[in-house]
Structure 1
Amino acid sequence: MTTLESKILLIEDVLSMALLYEKQLNLAGLGVKSVETLAAAREAIKEENYDLLLLDLNLPDGDGLSFLEEIQGTPNETPAIVITADSSLNNAVHAMKLGALDYLVKPFSESRLITTVNNTLERVMLREQIDTLRQTHQSGSFHDFIGSSSSMQRVYRTIENVAASKATVFITGASGTGKELCAEAIHKAGPRAKKPFIPVNCAAIPHDLLESELFGHLKGSFTGAISNREGAARAAEGGTLFLDEMCELDLTLQKKLLRFLQTSMVHPVGASQPEHVDVRVICATNRNPIEEVRAGRFREDLYFRLNVVPIALPPLNARGQDVIEIASSFLAKFSEEEGKQFQGFDAGAQALLMSYNWPGNVRELQNTIRNMAVLHDGEVITQEMFPPLEGELGSLSPISQEIPNSIPVQQPSQAISLEGNSLATLAELEKKIIEDRIEAFSGSIPKAADSLGVSPSTIYRKKEDWLKKEAV
């Protein structure tokens, strides 16, 4: 903002002072438009958006305080610095209460003017960035991710912090948790966003062809090499190389990959000289890399070279209400594709979504919603529409208060119970799950709450409610 691209509206009726301020600001590389009255200022902010107002409080057709109050909370509201005389310092304080970000007391030096304007513009820019991030996160989406749980908020913050860096990122998580989505988010959020993003699934390519796939080869370098091949590393020049299922690499190729990471040089199969490439490397695995190192299947030096910034993606059943948000997004998408009229999930379907453990994570949820959108129609998804689920029921996180406690959580073929054959209500299941989770974390309510995707105050409030009911 501190360039001629910034738009500052100066409202000053004394022509000599207006010309002086305008000249000083222009010399500092700031763009300024001057007007002499509040009427002219009203027209100016209707016609164009300004980054900052420099507002004299004493004007011929009104006072600046009334003007600030007038535009507050309207589409024309603009950050402001007020200009006042010594005798009206109280007005400056009042202006700050009305939203002005700073004030200047006449007479003031050129350096004071420039410093105040620059600092205020930086504050405005920072505030806009924070508001944008807050709106993005509160809306439950981040790049192509969906979900606003605390566990995913931590992932989003890590992505933001690491996006501009060249550091290697190692993503871990079970199959279907969105490792490639995470890698793409890092790529899109960083300075390499306009360059290629090249994914390579190390588990899907035969070991004897993987070196060629990564680093390329020359024609005739081996049987079947009928032409030159660029290789993924060179194809990603200037961008990002994403190596999925890293733990599938054999030890020989791990050594070559380590050399590539250390030197940024690729050696195509059959070539006499290596070539330099500029790529950022992001890796992922659905295994525990530490266990692979201990078992001798993964080089320790490669692991530490890759694990500069680790990102662990949580399983879907640890993301609380994200399940409903993601399912709703998939339902809207597939309903449109299939020409169906689904608007959401009824209470029983939501309970089933929350209680199922989703061993296949987001990928399994996606396939389940697609199945129902293809095979059924109606306004809402019900329990009876669910296909057979391969996992288990019972990991019930606290669900929305809109779901009545009297609705039993059940699949078409089975029902959940606490003991014996009696059906459990959602309230009973919720209490059991919360108590079990607190016990699992040795009595730590904050840790239990975090694992369930809720705030600790939610659990404290529920425990208080339980005590009240037991006392009756």
Structure 2
Amino acid sequence: MKPLLLIEDTASLQMVYESVLRGAGHEVVSASTAAEGAALFQKHAPDVVLLDLMLPDRSGQELMRDLLEIKPDTNVIVVTANGSINRAVEAMRAGAYEFLLKPFNEQRFLNAVENALDDGNRSKPTTSPGTAPGAFGTFVGSSPLMQQVYARIRSVGRSMATVFITGESGTGKEICAQAVHEKSNRANGPFVPLNCGAIPSDLLESEVFGHLKGSFTGAIADKPGAAAVADGGTLFLDEICEMDLNLQTKLLRFLQTSMIQPVGAPTPRKVNVRIICATNRDPMEEVRRGRFREDLYYRLHVVPIHLPPLRDRGHDVIEIAEASIARFANDEGRAFTGLDEATKQLFQQLEWPGNVRQLLNVLRHAIVLHDGPLVTQDMLPLDLRHETEALSHAPTAPMVGAPPRVALDGLLGKTLAEIEQLVIEETIQRHGGSVPRAARVLDVSPSTIYRKRESWAKKP
């Protein structure tokens, strides 16, 4: 068995780490400088390296890049002081397997090492013979952009690092989070998704951390929060940028301590949860606008995964469509087998603003209302057929200097408050009754819309 390589310049800490590792049955070789570490790495070719980022002769991050260039499948666990979390985040993005912030306890240290040792297949593809090159969990698509996503999921799966998923609405962020969970050593534990944008802010704390009976009006029984339910598994916080600022503070404390305190509980308790979060917004822009805490952003944005929009994925749209047609046809008892050539060409030309979710809705519509064997353009929903007609006509150039026309019929004569209510309700209706989607279009928090609708309902 290959020894672990420990590179730590503080002699007392080096002795403590060696003692803990050897007590757990691991063989260890140690170095105090980057140069010594590089020499031992060449000699032993270890599978796991424990690396302090602050070394006397060279940056630990630069050393890590050199080690990974020599042996890319090495699992590097970086160690740094609590005040240097930005360095740890940068190291994760550069290929580190895991990071430990000093001070950490013995069990956390050993868990990180065991996870790194167990992950012997980190860089190997997970598809079996006969599987499509792009098949990965429930994802479908073999485009280069998605192959990069699959590789990132494989590499981060067994780490405890927080994953931050970004991408437009409908690109499959929850599917991505589920895939990370299934590639982790927590796969047998619970996967608990929570949509932060779909829950009013005054209820969100209870949903995340739980509450005790009688802790507030309506609390008729004890309720475990999502964080407690996810103990031993993964908590997926979707639409994280919708979270109220006060709750962001409590989430940051939870990430730092792993302690939860249900509403009304006298004392906190510890849980073992991995956090994955997602948003369809630009998180740094939310930080700049003061809607998302900067310290929470850096705590969460350790390993980013960006899901590309469907319009940038080339032939993936056809792969997804044909795989979905087979499933829907089976569900609905229809004889569909695929798309005709004209529809294939059209699907690759469309913008798909709703991404994969929109594509699936279009196909479900066609299969429910028609029968096969092929999906043709005349089976598509009316709004998509209008878009088809627009693509077939060359665009006309707008008049230079002409201002955009805005239809004001029905608004003139109303108060500003009445106009606001009309616009909000119409936006919600046009987005299938979804308050979070309407809120994104209107660039407000869903909780703002919930409060306004509640106040309108109270009016006589």
CA distance in 2, matches of 1:276, 1:162: 24
Corresponding residue SS for 1:389? helix
Deviation digits for residues 197-236 of structure 1 (CA, Å, limit 9, x no counterpart) = 0000001111111101100111111111111111100000
CA distance in 2, matches of 1:387, 1:160: 38
Shift of 1:329: 1.0
Q: Which amino acid letter does the alignment assign opposite residue 163 of structure 1? A: G
CA distance in 1, matches of 2:232, 2:243: 24
Q: Is 1:252–2:246 an aligned residue pair?
A: yes
Name 1:433's counterpart in structure 2: none
- Give the distance between the partners of 1:353 and 1:278, measured in 2 at CA: 44
What is residue 241 of structure 1 aligned with on the other side?
235
Alignment correspondent of 1:415 = 392
Does residue 355 of structure 1 match 2:349?
A: yes
Q: State the partner residue of 1:346.
A: 340
State whether residues 122 and 154 of structure 2, in contact with CA within 8 Å, keep that contact through their aligned partners in structure 1.
no
CA displacement at 1:129 relative to structure 2: 8.5
- Aligned residues of 1:136 and 1:142 also touching (Cα < 8 A): no
Q: Secondary structure at the match of 1:200?
A: strand
Alignment of 1:332 with 2:309, yes or no, is: no
Shift of 1:389: 3.4
Does the aligned pair in 1 maintain the 2:214–2:220 contact within 8 Å?
yes
The one-letter code of the counterpart of 1:205 is I
Shift of 1:139: 3.3
| Aligned partner (choices 246, 256, 266) of residue 272 of structure 1 | 266
Give the count of matched residue pairs.
281
Please list, as runs of the form range in 1=range in 2, the aligned pairs for 1:356-395 lying within 5 A after superposition: 356-389=350-383
> Does the CA contact (< 8 Å) of 1:215 and 1:231 recur in 2?
yes
Q: Residue 157 of structure 2 aligns with which residue?
A: 163
Q: Which residue in 1 is equivalent to 2:210? A: 216
**Which residue in the other structure is 2:222 paired with?**
228
Deviations 1:331-365 (A, max 9, x none): 11111111111111111010111111100000000
Matched, 1:283 2:260: no
**Residue deviations 1:40-81, cap 9 Å, x none?**
xxxxxxxxxxxxxxxxxxxxxxxxxxxxxxxxxxxxxxxxxx
Equivalents in 2 of 1:127, 1:223: separation in Å?
A: 51
What residue number does 1:454 align with?
none
Amino acid at match of 1:218: L
1:106-149, CA deviations, whole angstroms, 9 ceiling, x for partnerless residues? Answer: xxxxxxxxxxxxxxxxxxx9899846547587432100100010
Structure 1 residues 122-180: Cα deviation after superposition (integer angstroms, max 9, x where no partner): xxx98998465475874321001000100000000000000000000010111100000
* Alignment-derived partner of residue 179 in structure 1: 173
Letter in 2 for 1:284: A
Q: Contact 1:331/1:344 (CA < 8 Å) preserved in 2?
A: yes
Write the deviation string for residues 272-316 of structure 1: whole angstroms up to 9, x where unpaired: 111000000000011110110000000000000000000111000
Q: Kindly state the Cα deviation for residue 377 of structure 1 after the two structures are TM-superposed.
A: 1.0
Cα contact 2:370–2:379 (8 A) shared by 1: yes
Instruction: Give, in whole Å, the separation in 2 of the partners of 1:158 and 1:261.
Output: 23
1:390 Cα deviation after fit:
5.4
**Structure 2 residue corresponding to 1:194, chosen from 182, 188, 197:** 188
Local SS of the residue matching 1:142? coil
Q: What residue in structure 2 maps to residue 143 of structure 1?
A: 137
Q: Measure the CA separation in 1 of the matches of 2:196 and 2:125.
A: 40
Q: Name which one, 1 or 2, has greater alpha-carbon Rg.
A: 1
Take 1:350 and 1:390, find their aligned partners in 2: how far apart are those partners? Answer: 14
State yes or no: 1:301 paired with 2:295.
yes
What is the match of residue 313 of structure 1?
307
C-alpha spacing 1:318/1:215, structure 2 compared with 1 (3 Å): same
Do the aligned residues in 2 keep the contact of 1:137 with 1:148 (CA within 8 Å)?
no
Give distance in 1, aligned partners of 2:382 and 2:246: 43
1:436 matched residue in structure 2? none
8 Å CA contact 1:137–1:153 kept in 2: the answer is no
Q: Structure 1 residues 136 and 161 mapped into 2: Cα distance closer, same or farther (>3 Å)?
A: farther
* AA in 1 matched with 2:192: I
Root-mean-square deviation (CA, aligned residues, Å) is: 2.6
Q: Distance in 2 between matches of 1:319 and 1:356?
A: 12
Tell me the TM-score normalised to structure 1 length. 0.56
* Alignment check: 8 A CA contact 2:165 2:278 kept: yes
Instruction: Give the secondary structure class of the aligned counterpart of 1:257.
Output: helix
Distance in 2 separating the partners of 1:317 and 1:264:
40
The aligned amino acid for 1:187 is H
Please say if residues 356 and 392 of structure 1, whose CA atoms lie closer than 8 Å, have aligned partners that are also in contact. no
CA–CA distance in structure 2, aligned partners of residues 341 and 186 of structure 1: 35
Q: 1:196 to 1:160 in 2, by over 3 A?
A: same
Counterpart residue type for residue 383 of structure 1: Q
Q: Distance in 1 between matches of 2:280 and 2:224?
A: 28
Distance in 1, matches of 2:131 and 2:340, equals 26
AA aligned to 1:415 is S
Measured in 2, the distance between the counterparts of 1:258 and 1:313 equals 25
Question: Deviations along 1:8-48, whole A, 9 cap, x unmatched?
Answer: xxxxxxxxxxxxxxxxxxxxxxxxxxxxxxxxxxxxxxxxx
* Distance 1:154-1:179 versus aligned 2 partners, 3 A rule: same
Shift of 1:381: 1.2
Equivalent residues in 2 for 1:20-59, closer than 5 Å: none
